[in-house]
Every structure is written in structure tokens, then in C-alpha cells.
Amino acid sequence: MNNTREVEVVVIGAGQAGLSSAYHLRRTGFEPERDFVVLDHSPAPGGAWQFRWPSLTYGKVHGMHALPGMELTDADPTRPSAEVVAEYFAAYERAFDLRVRRPVDVRAVREGAGGRLLVETSDGTWSTRALINATGTWDRPFWPRYRGQETFRGRQLHTAQYRGPEEFAGLRVIVVGGGASGTQHLLEIAPYAATTTWVTRRLPVFREGPFNEDLGRAAVALVEERVRQGLPPKSVVSVTGLPLNDAIRQGIDDGVLDRQPMFDGITPEGVEWNDGRRLAADVILWATGFRAAIDHLAPLRLREAGGGIRVEGTRAVADPRIHLVGYGPSASTIGANRAGRAAVRDIRRLLAETPTQPTEPAQPTEPADSIEPAESVRSVGSAAA
């Protein structure tokens, strides 16, 4: 029995990138369930935000851009961003009737018959003419490997497992990594821990002054150039530097953000440098970032020799049916918004140009200028009070 379901577009992931894409699909006449589906393996709305540590309050995030068509206003800055964003995304999905299917884990995407793609999931198979991959990075924490790492008797954890500073009370903690997460962990943990040590591979670059549009554009252009060449994308901080805000300044003055060079090896008791220096530790916290969660695309062989997928705009150069939204230059809330719109525009063109298959579902109608939320939820900030 063949119970493969056919749609025009499958969106994988219901974070900022997937929801923005779904919004633009709806807005241009694609019907959820009939023309497109959104599949997400997380248990609830919120994308990766639902898993962020409780002490990452809404006031501490760098600037969360609202999704298209519905503002996020009056959010309480002292509440965990995990809660604020999850509520906002849930309201958004309802308002635009996006009908996200969850938990549905996409395991593999393969070439199907008649120019279609087969999306194999924990809940059966979808056959689709185009794919928007919006799976983010949270599911692929990056752990570097160091000599002796397996011998360490203390605890090792990654940012993805960090739940707040209290559990480090009285412990000697080493934080690895020069990004925003690493510095935030240090500032939070220092008042609780017996000692903290910050190690990074490269000298951290602090950025004076506000993050303006020019800086943003320059950062995006740098990452864009990498993905155009088929190299793995870099994190935004690696190109923008760390903002020198009051908390960071205080951390530098207090000696909490006194960066040490990366250690060369790990021992049962701690870490060591090749010059003979050793440091005892109870915890190594790897704030070493994330990689794109795209293993399910492996059967399509999109990766270049450089290790990344070559992308032009949001389209995979090797396969115009596939768009990567929230990948590389669009891996920010504002970037994901724009990329969702661009991907949908491109896909509409592709579907119009490509002959349809015999078992084709109903054609999407002409684009409407805008869609109104299905219910009168304009923001969720006050709902939380």
C-alpha cells in the first residue's frame, strides 16, 4: 500500500525560518495541508528557543525580530526568552492557521520519481515538488576534540545542556569559547563558582559602539560569500565581534573575562598547555557553537568538497528545488524573515516553470497582498503578565 502524501512544498522546521516561510506560502495562496506542510520534531511551538536556559531572559537576547505579520510587543524582559518566544510562536501558528505537524522527525530526503523529492519522517513519507529546509543549528552542538578528553573525571557539558549557574556553586569551571554564549555563561557562573577560567582559540574581538545596519550588512556579506563558495557558514559573532556592553565591560574589569589561550590537552584532573602549565577543574563547559542540522539531506549529496552546501540567495546551487532558510547569512531572526520570503518567491517561480505531475494537487491561487491573522492575536507580551 502506498500511503505517501503529495504536496507542493514541505517545510522542515518551525522556528523563525520555517514559520516565516510558511507565512509567505500562505500569503501567496498555498493552503496548509493541501499544498504545503510544516514538519517539526520538537514537542511544542518555539523552535529552538523553547530549549534555551531559563536565565536567558527576554531582556538579554540581542534583538529578536518579530515574525512577519504579527508584532511581539510588551514582552516582559525579565521572563525567560524560552517562554516568551514559545507563547508568541504558538499564537502566531494559530493566528495564521499554519497547522504545524509535530512531533515529526525528518530522517531523510531522497530523490523521488517524476522530479519529486521524498521526505521520509517518523510519521510516514511526503512527496514534494520543493523543499524549504529550516532546521537551524540547535540540534547539532559542536564539540571540539582535545587530547585526553575522555579521561577527564569532572563534568563536560555543552551550551545546549546549560540550565543556569546554580549547579556550578563551589566548583572550578572552565568555559571554552569566544562567542556570546561563552561570555554570558561566565558572567552568570562567576558569582556562584569557586573559580572560573575563560579559554578561547582566537583573541576575542570586542566591538565598540552600536551594531548598526552597515555592520550587519558587512557581516552578512562575509557569511554569504562563504556559502556561495560551498564552505560551511561561520557564526555571526565570528564576523561581528562581541558587543562591548556594560555587562561585558564589568566582566573585563572584574577579571571574569580575562581570556586565556586555548589549552592543548585534557587530563583526569583538568587541562594542560604544551608549555607545561596545568589547571585543575571540576567542569568544562563547551560554549563552542553549533553546526547546521542538515544530516537528513545527505542522500541528496549537496555538500561541496569544502564541507558546506553552495547556496545562492536561499537556493541550493546543485538543486533548485531545495532552499535553505536560516542557513549561513540568514541565521538570524531578521535574516530568517527575509529568507523565508525570498525562498517562497523563488519556489513559486520554479513551480510555475516546471511541468506539473499527473497526480498534482490543487494549484495555489494568486498572491494576496496580505493575510490577516485568523484570530485577533496581535501580540502575546501582555498574555504572559
Ligand X SMILES: Cc1cc2nc3c(=O)[nH]c(=O)nc-3n(C[C@H](O)[C@H](O)[C@H](O)COP(=O)(O)OP(=O)(O)OC[C@H]3O[C@@H](n4cnc5c(N)ncnc54)[C@H](O)[C@@H]3O)c2cc1C
Give the interface with ligand X as residue ranges (CB under 6 A). 12-18, 39-42, 47-48, 52, 61-65, 105-106, 134-136, 138-139, 181, 293, 296, 326, 331-333, 336
Distance (Å, whole) CA 28 – CA 380: 25
Query: How near is the Cβ of 277 to ligand X at its closest, in Å?
Result: 31
* Distance (Å, whole) CA 8 – CA 15: 20
Q: Please, which residue, 195 or 238, has the CB nearer to ligand X? A: 238
Identity of the residue, 308 or 326, whose beta carbon is nearer to ligand X in the bound complex: 326
Shortest distance in whole angstroms from residue 44 CB to ligand X? 9
Sole residue written with cell 522546521: 13
**Beta carbon of residue 189, minimum distance to ligand X (angstroms, whole number):** 15
Shortest separation between residue 385's beta carbon and ligand X, angstroms: 22
Q: State the first-to-last Cα distance of the chain, in angstroms, to the nearest integer.
A: 51
3-state secondary structure of 216: helix
Write down the least CB distance from residue 55 to ligand X, Å. 11
CB of 159: closest distance to ligand X in angstroms? 7
> In this complex, which beta carbon is closest to ligand X, that of residue 29 or of residue 313?
313
Task: Rank residues 152 and 162 by Cβ distance to ligand X and give the closer one.
Answer: 162
State the minimum distance, in angstroms, from the CB of residue 374 to ligand X. 22
Q: Using the 8-state DSSP alphabet, how is residue 329 labeled?
A: G
CB of 270 or CB of 289, closer to ligand X: 289
Other Cβ atoms less than 10 A from the Cβ of 80: the count is: 20
**H-only helix segments in the chain:** 16-27, 81-95, 180-189, 213-228, 236-240, 246-254, 333-353
Given the complex with ligand X, which of 281 and 342 has the nearer CB atom? Answer: 342
Helix pair angle (81-95, 16-27), 10° resolution: 20
| CA–CA gap between residue 368 and residue 90 (Å, rounded) | 24
- What gap in Å lies between CA 120 and CA 10, rounded to an integer? 11
Task: Tell me whether residue 95 or residue 325 sits nearer to ligand X (CB atom).
Answer: 325
Smallest gap from residue 336 Cβ to ligand X (A): 5
Considering beta carbons, is residue 80 or 270 the nearer one to ligand X? 80
Q: Are 38 and 98 spatial neighbours (Cβ–Cβ below 8 Å)?
A: yes
CA distance 243 to 60: 12
Q: What is the largest CA-CA distance in the chain?
A: 70
Output the smallest distance, CB 15 to ligand X, in A: 2
- Cell numbers for 197, please give them: 577560567
Contact 7, 346 (CB under 8 A): no
Q: Tell me whether residue 240 or residue 333 sits nearer to ligand X (CB atom).
A: 333
Q: To the nearest whole angstrom, how small is the minimum distance from the Cβ of residue 148 to ligand X?
A: 28
Q: Is 18 helix (H, G, I), strand (E, B) or coil?
A: helix
CA distance 118 to 121: 10
Rounded CA separation 276/253 (Å): 28
Residues 6+ apart with CB under 8 A from 317: 230, 310, 311
Q: Nearer to ligand X by C-beta: 197 or 333?
A: 333
Contact partners, residue 85, CB within 8 Å, separation at least 6: 46, 47, 49, 50, 58, 64, 72
